[in-house]
A and B are shown apart, each in its own frame.
Chain A
């Protein structure tokens, strides 16, 4: 239909108005407030000075922030390196059918149902040397284990806690991917004389690619924004050993009330996550289209 025969009608814009209003209140206005803070120095509730990009420059030079970012990247990588293979292994060893399968699914999913702060509390007690199961036995085994005193111990404890909490998510996704592989593939592999490893390498892993990408994306984003569990367990300590990005940010914004730098840093944080998501999302999209080009299979 050519535009000349059709009268111009702008009323359709009213139909998207509700969405614009919702998004404005849920995302754009709060974000704009942060942008507002990031370019001002708030001296008192009624005295503000425009400072331009000064906070951004300050934040970029902030040594502590660099350390927190570095810790964060290390932690997220460690999370992915442990949880993805472990989740796949878990999914492979889960029973495929019958009541056993349902029972195991429920058991595996249990840790996903526990609120974040409760997870922190559980591990706080679990790791205590006097009454905690883990702490007590590590002490008995001759290890000077203390997640409050030793920064290495604290870091590993936070990692273990995250692995305990979130590996089941990876396992459930991988399990769903495994279940969607038609039986004919396993039959063909058995007729072709494929070993267990070959079945995993050439059938299961390629067929799980899609769900594993989702798992990587979810676990990366979640671990990159981790806050509650280490906050409850270690409070970011000892020292700054387990102070990750969002905790550093909270300390700055709410603890020290440095609203300007905190806002500037929030925007940078937001951009980092957006960038990672953009890259991962595009990667997944390209995988998806190449899968479609392959057609049936």
Chain B
């Protein structure tokens, strides 16, 4: 158990000069003891690099990693007492399930009775008790991955358990089960868990805090609600949510707001910095107004999809496409209609240079 602090940068190439040379741009971050974290981002954003730096499989090219204030930058995973679960199941072919689960404890010379108790506990949590004496090599891929998870969770004294997209090989219906299991285990064992994924649903349901990453940068750290309501970066708005946030180019000219060439009046007394901006609004909050209503933008409906629980309206304002999510009972327009979009409201966010204006 430990509070993990990162203050580092990493480049796989020697002598990085430009931002693109870095796999991880200089960052400062802390993971609290006992928290459940997710590192979320598209492929190549640096999340696995960050995970391997935390675990000690990779030494950052600059900066430090500290556990409870103790510098562990050059320590091995063993010395840091880290457990890690990989994307593909790693099992020891010649051992039984029980021997696989006991392996990390056995290597640390834990007394036999304690090993037995701990293995039994973990096997029960993972619902593998009936398979303990089976040869691990004969099991299916998701069973094997459960063993890998079990080996990660079997040591009760670990500093943190790291997961590198551990559910990739698992069937969708089992994914839900295992994710719930992990969450439950987190509550029971109070371990620090850090979970890498590119699936926002996985990240948001698993973690208390989600670290959203893109291009080697951690752009926002926050709970699901914050990521949804106040995305700190246009990438977060775009990446979180399905579909993502709508963005429109806007400008602040002498205190007045101009969106797509149309002046709009800010009602809540927001003061925006002068110059080009971006207006962002979630499809869930984009509402349709009446014709002639002030502070609305006219747009042409191009597509209406009834998803069952909601109606998704796609429309175009100028060359910009916006999505709007309506309740199923609302009067939905049809393609070709002109609608008036209420783009201003309490959920509207403004961005300057991709960063949220607070």
Chain A contacts to B: CB under 8 angstroms: 182, 184-185, 187-188, 190-195, 198, 202-203, 206-207, 293-297
Contact residues on B (Cβ < 8 Å of other chain), bracket: 20 to 34
**Cα A194 to Cα B94 with chains together (Å):** 15
The reply to whether B138 and A184 contact each other, CB–CB distance below 8 Å, is no
Q: Are B141 and A295 in contact (CB under 8 A)?
A: yes
Q: Is chain A's interface secondary structure helix, strand, loop, or mixed overall?
A: helix
Chain A residues with CB under 8 A of B82: 191
Question: Lowest 9 CB-CB distances: which A-B pairs, in order?
Answer: A193-B107, A188-B90, A192-B104, A294-B137, A202-B92, A184-B86, A191-B77, A206-B93, A191-B84
Interface centre among B76, B89, B90, by most chain A C-beta atoms within 10 angstroms, is: B90
On whether the beta carbons of A297 and B57 are closer than 8 Å, the reply is: no
Contact A188 B84 (CB under 8 A): yes
- Residue in B92, B93, B94, B169 whose Cβ sees the most chain A Cβ within 10 Å: B92
Decide if A296 touches B103 in the complex (CB within 8 Å): no
Question: Chain B 122-166, CB within 8 Å of chain A: the 1/0 string?
Answer: 000000000000000110110010001001000000000000000
Q: Which residues of B contact A (CB under 8 A)?
A: 55, 57, 76-78, 82-84, 86-95, 103-104, 107-108, 137-138, 140-141, 144, 148, 151, 169
Asked whether A192 and B141 contact (CB < 8 A) given A184-B88, A296-B89, the answer is no
Q: A187-B86, A202-B95, A206-B94 are in contact. Are A192 and B76 (CB under 8 A)?
A: no
**Chain B residues whose C-beta falls within 8 Å of the C-beta of A296 in the assembled complex:** 88-89, 141, 144, 169
Determine the residue in chain A with the shortest Cβ distance to B55: A191
* Distance (whole angstroms) from the CB of A185 to the closest CB of chain B: 5
A182 (CB) vs chain B CBs: closest residue = B88
Q: Within the complex, what minimum Cβ distance (angstroms) separates B96 from chain A? A: 12
Q: Which residues from chain A contact B86 at a C-beta distance below 8 Å?
A: 184, 187-188
Given contacts A188-B86, A206-B94, A295-B140, 19 further A-B contacts (CB under 8 A): A184-B90, A185-B90, A187-B90, A188-B90, A188-B148, A188-B151, A190-B77, A191-B78, A191-B84, A192-B103, A198-B107, A202-B94, A203-B92, A206-B92, A294-B137, A296-B89, A297-B91, A297-B137, A297-B144
Once the chains are docked, how many angstroms separate the CA of A184 from the CA of B151?
14
Which partner residue on chain B sits nearest A202 by CB separation?
A: B92
**Could you say which residues of chain A place their CB within 8 Å of the CB of B78?**
190-191, 193
Q: What's the Cα separation between A192 and B83 when bound, in Å?
A: 7
A216 CA to B104 CA, complexed, in Å: 33
Q: Which residues of A contact B90 (CB under 8 A)?
A: 184-185, 187-188
Flag if A194 contacts B103 (CB, 8 Å): yes
Report B-chain residues with C-beta under 8 Å of the C-beta of A295: 140-141
Alpha-carbon gap, A188 to B147, bound state (A): 12
With both beta carbons as reference points, the residue of chain A lying nearest to B85 in the complex is identified as A188
CA distance A190 to B78 in the complex (A): 7
Complex Cα gap A289–B77 (Å): 36
Q: Which residue of A lies closest to B104 (CB)?
A: A192
Closest to B162 in A: A191
Q: Are B57 and A192 in contact (CB under 8 A)?
A: no
Distance (whole angstroms) from the CB of B282 to the closest CB of chain A: 39
Cα distance, A297 to B95, chains bound together (Å):
13
Question: Across the interface, do B107 and A194 meet the contact criterion of CB distance under 8 Å?
Answer: yes
CA distance A109 to B107 in the complex (A): 37
Cα A293 to Cα B93 in complex, Å, equals: 12
Question: How far apart are the CA atoms of A12 and B148 in the complex, in Å?
Answer: 54
Complex Cα distance A192/B86, Å? 12
Residues of A within 8 A of B76 (CB): 190
Contacts of B137 in A (CB 8 A): 294, 297
Q: List the A side residues contacting B107 at CB < 8 Å.
A: 192-195, 198
**Bound Cα distance A297, B84 (Å):** 17
- Tell me how far the C-beta of A218 lies from the nearest C-beta in chain B, rounded to whole angstroms: 24
A-B contact pairs, 12 of them (CB 8 A): A187-B57, A187-B77, A188-B86, A188-B151, A191-B55, A191-B77, A193-B107, A194-B107, A202-B95, A294-B93, A296-B144, A297-B91
